[in-house]
Amino acid sequence: MFNAFVWMRRTSGDCCQVLRGRFTAKLFRLAVLAVGLALAWPTPGRADFIWFDDHWNFLLIGVPIGPGTTVKPDFGNAMADLANASGSAATITDPSMASSGNVTVSFSRRFQLLNNPDDSDVTLFGTLSGVLTSSSAAAKVFAGAGTIVDAIIIGTPVIITGAANVIAENDTDNESLLEPRADSAILSDGIYTVEGTLEVMVNATQDPVGLAEAQADINWIVGVSAVPVPEPSTLLQLCLGVFVLFVVGVATGRAKARFRQGGTAARQ
């Protein structure tokens, strides 16, 4: 009778330990699963970009040389998000002097990055567009047109540039432009300055009127954008969560095996 009672008590205790062990293991698995899902769930990023200055600062310069030369520098809406610099120039041969025209439009504006301790992926972009034309009706009579553009975020490696030119001697040389540009870098919160320049040039040699001419009509649009630095990919986070579950599963299996061995030894 006494032996039977002892056996029943041991059996009851073993069952309770097994149930408690299974219940604890299930709770632990659920907790680890929750951690894995939390790791796998993507979190929204945030990068705040604002214009620190409420308008673009710009400078217009036009220098015509020769009676048949015209120049026109221009800048669009200074309150707009995009800088819109443009310049046109035209010239024609003149018997009294070589003719030329130069246009320069420079612009700048400060912007601020904030509320993103993980830094921001900032892109400086621009589009060079327009037309360059030149023509000459005689040998050794030249006319040409060209443009050079650039934009930079001061104090960073971010810079975009563009250039084109045409030149004619006893022929015509024309070019239509539509060239996007972009460069980017990871920048920390702070205040930055974007600067840009558009230059337009035309020229013609000293020759009888109308033997050669050149014209340029160019536009340089520049802007800045910022997005948060990407968080680790959802797939990477999910793999990390699965790996955690796998490691815990192995550890739980080993613990169960040791528990069963201990129970068997106790009954013996």
Read off the pLDDT of residues 82-93 as tens digits, 9 standing for 90 and up: 999 999 999 999
Same domain, 22 and 148: no
Same domain, 67 and 14: no
Element of type H or E holding 243: helix 234-267
Same domain, 83 and 156: yes
- Mean of the pLDDT values across residues 102-110? 98
Same domain, 216 and 107: yes
Least confident of 79-83, 140-144, 153-157, 247-251: 247-251
Same domain, 212 and 148: yes
Same domain, 258 and 167: no
pLDDT tier for residue 116 given thresholds of 50, 70 and 90: confident
Same domain, 190 and 210: yes
User: Within its chain, how far is the Cα of 219 from the centroid?
Assistant: 22
Same domain, 15 and 80: no
Same domain, 249 and 146: no
Burial 125-152 (b: 16+ CB within 10 A, else e): bbbbbbbbbbbbbeeebbbbbbbbbbbb
Question: What does the pLDDT read at residue 257?
Answer: 59
pLDDT in tens, 160-183: 999 999 999 999 999 999 999 999
- Work out the mean pLDDT of the chain and round it to a whole number: 82
Question: What does the pLDDT read at residue 115?
Answer: 84
Using a cut of 0.75, tell me whether the model's pTM lies above it. no
Same domain, 157 and 216: yes
pLDDT in tens, 53-97: 999 999 999 999 999 999 999 999 999 999 999 999 999 999 999
How far is residue 40's CA from residue 20's CA, in Å, rounded to a whole number?
Answer: 30
Same domain, 85 and 205: yes
Residue 18 has pLDDT above 50, yes or no: no
Residue 246 has pLDDT above 70, yes or no: no
Number of domains in the chain: 2
Domain holding 244, by residue range, is: 2-43+232-267
